[in-house]
Amino acid sequence: MSVIAPKFKLSEFIKSLLDNAFWILLLLVLVGIPAISILLFAIEMPVINGELLTPFLALTWIADPSRTLPIIKAFMATDIFRVMAFPGFGFAALLAAGTIFVERKMLAKLQLRVGPFYCGKVEGILQLMGDGLKLISKEIIIPAKADKPIFWAAPVMFVGAAAAFVALIPVAPGWVVADVDLGLLGVFAVIGFFPIITILSAWSANSKFPFIGGIRALFQMVSFEIPLILSLLGVVILTGTLNLSEIAASQSSFPWIVFLPVGAVVFFITMLAELERIPFDLPEAESEIVAGWLTELSGMMYGLVQLGTYLKLYAFAALFVVLFLGGWNGPMVVPPFPAEIITDGIVMGPITAKIPGLPVFTQEMLNGTLWFVLKTVGVIFFILLPRGVFPRIRIDMLLSLGWTKLIGLAFVNIFIALGLLYAGVLGPGGLQ
């Protein structure tokens, strides 16, 4: 008997939104505010600007934007904020969580998977929390005779390498965790750690299934890393720099994909292979070797690897945007902030509120971040799409594609870049 998925109804969706908003507000009022009040009175408060931060003073600052905004802006300029919140781990993890949700719903639409249509409230967004609670509560099982130190360390190293990858990607002018002159070389160095971590994790489990998956992953990553690196040399030749912020800024007139489409295609295909996404998911082939090198990982050890996988997916998509799609460059869609907001304050009816510190972000920052996020989300969609429409290829086809065709196309891309530079199309006197 065939099962037909229910149709989307806007009225039911709005009703579920209001239903959940009601319960969230009720819990916030009954539990959240009393808990924060008890916490503020119980802990020892620090001294800020010569004033002891008492609970009453903290509440005064919260209610007075003219005192809160300068503190917030000063905190946003610190390295801790950039690493933990934006554009570092918090921002990347939020996009990664959204990617998991979109992937589940998109595959359900493409392949008529019934479960995601019914599971969870608000279009199934609560399923993410359910998955997280399940992973946290599951027992972590260590295989017999496993190399325990390496087995424990591998998932942590995987997340650490993915976070280091994220730290090198600029989001907007001046907004990057680590703005280094040799940023592209740093990316290659971080990517080189993933095969090592994968094979170490597979070997330390002392099981044939993870080991077979690990060997497959090693073959795949090594055979595709060479065309991956070669495909980026065209951009380096045209820009003359390895700094990712300067590469993004150099595309203010045209994105490099206009001049180097072959390099962009090669990079996208190798990116799918590095991410072990379909049609290159041989290391995890569920029907052949259970789950590949992840077979013996359980509980939050598996959860850490999944978190690192989606952080890596976001970082690769963002790198594609920076290298080929112009990074944060785009038409100015955010209107300029009126000068009177900064000098005279905001007029709200009969009241004029003078709030120093506004705006919190500059116009360039907001516009750049908007374009960067839109482009990155678009690239992530095209990374997810093959999982719903392509079958898995054989390993001999995979190795032949990596070692012959893609390397040849990568060299064609280098010759195109050299031709554009020496023909005067680009560079001094050219278009860019």
pLDDT, mean of residues 268-277:
91
| 236 within 8 A of 188, measured Cβ to Cβ | no
Flag the least confident range among 58-62, 143-147, 223-227. 58-62
pLDDT, mean of residues 221-244:
90
pLDDT, mean of residues 7-23:
76
Residue 402 main-chain phi, psi, to 5 deg: -70, -45
Within 10 angstroms of residue 399's Cβ, the number of other Cβ atoms is 15
Note the pLDDT of residue 6.
60
Which DSSP letter does residue 348 get? E
Distance CA 321, CA 374 (A): 10
Note the pLDDT of residue 289.
59
| 237 within 8 A of 304, measured Cβ to Cβ | no
Note the pLDDT of residue 350.
56
Residue 103 burial class via C-beta count within 10 angstroms: exposed 0-12, middle 13-18, buried 19 and up: buried
pLDDT band at 272 (very low <50, low <70, confident <90, very high): very high
Q: Which residues contact 373 (CB under 8 A, 6 or more apart)?
A: 95
The H-or-E segment that residue 214 falls in is helix 208-239
Which DSSP letter does residue 143 get? P
pLDDT digits (tens, 9 = 90+) for 388-414: 888 888 888 888 888 889 999 999 999
Residue 405 main-chain phi, psi, to 5 deg: -65, -50
Within 10 angstroms of residue 382's Cβ, the number of other Cβ atoms is 12
Note the pLDDT of residue 394.
84
Taking Cα atoms as reference points, which of 13, 28, 138 lies closest to residue 130? 138
The H-or-E segment that residue 51 falls in is strand 51-52
The H-or-E segment that residue 22 falls in is helix 10-27
Taking Cα atoms as reference points, which of 220, 185, 225 lies closest to residue 407? 225
| 89 within 8 A of 83, measured Cβ to Cβ | yes
Distance CA 147, CA 252 (A): 51
Q: Measured in Å, how far apart are the chain's first and last C-alpha atoms?
A: 61
pLDDT at 312 over 90: yes
Q: Which residues contact 354 (CB under 8 A, 6 or more apart)?
A: 66, 344, 345
pLDDT at 217 over 60: yes
Q: What is the mean pLDDT of the chain?
A: 82
Within 10 angstroms of residue 372's Cβ, the number of other Cβ atoms is 26
pLDDT digits (tens, 9 = 90+) for 149-186: 999 999 999 999 999 999 999 998 888 988 889 889 99
For helices 89-111 and 363-384, the axis angle rounded to 10 degrees is 40
